[in-house]
Amino acid sequence: MRKFARVAAVLPIVAALSIGMTSTAGAETDCTDYSDNGGAKATFKAYGEHLLIDDIFADGHSAIGGIEIYGDGHYFYWNRNGADSGVRDVNLDIKEGTSVVINAFLGDWDGTVTGGIDFGSNVVSNCHGVA
C-alpha cells in the first residue's frame, strides 16, 4: 500500500513538470538587431509576428529590416521615410513555433527590394527569434 501511495504522490508532480517543460520549449521569443553604426534597428515581436523597422539617425540612409523565416525564405522591408518618421510596423503571418533570424541594414533605395542594401552595414547580425 505504501508503494501505491508514493506513486500516487509522484505522478502529479511528474505530470506538472512535463507540462511546464512543454510550454517553455514552445515559448515565443523577441529579438532586436542594429546596423553597424546603430542607425537602423530591426525588432521582431513574436506575439502577433511583427517586424518593427526604425531609422534612428538622420544620416541620409534608409533603415532595412531583414527577416529569414525558416523554411520560407529571406525578406527585406524598408523604412524609407527618415529618422523622424516613426517606426515601420510590418504585420507578418508566421506559423507559431517557426524560427526566424533578424538583421538590420542601412541602404539607399534604388527602386528594387535588395538593390540598394549595404549588406556590409550589419556586423552585429543574426538575432534569433521564434514566432
pLDDT in tens, 15-40: 333 333 222 334 689 999 999 888 99
Class level of CATH domain 31-130: mainly beta
> Order of strands, edge to edge, in the sheet holding 31-34?
31-34, 40-45, 50-55, 88-91
Angle subtended at Cα 84 by Cα 129 and Cα 107, rounded to the nearest 5 degrees: 60
Cell output for 11 = 505522478
Cell output for 90 = 510590418
CA max distance for the chain: 78
Q: Is the per-residue pLDDT at 83 higher than 70?
A: yes
Q: Is the per-residue pLDDT at 99 higher than 70?
A: yes
Calculate the alpha carbon distances from 120 to 76, 77, 87 in Å: 15, 17, 23
Lowest mean pLDDT among 49-53, 78-82, 121-125: 121-125
Cell output for 103 = 538583421
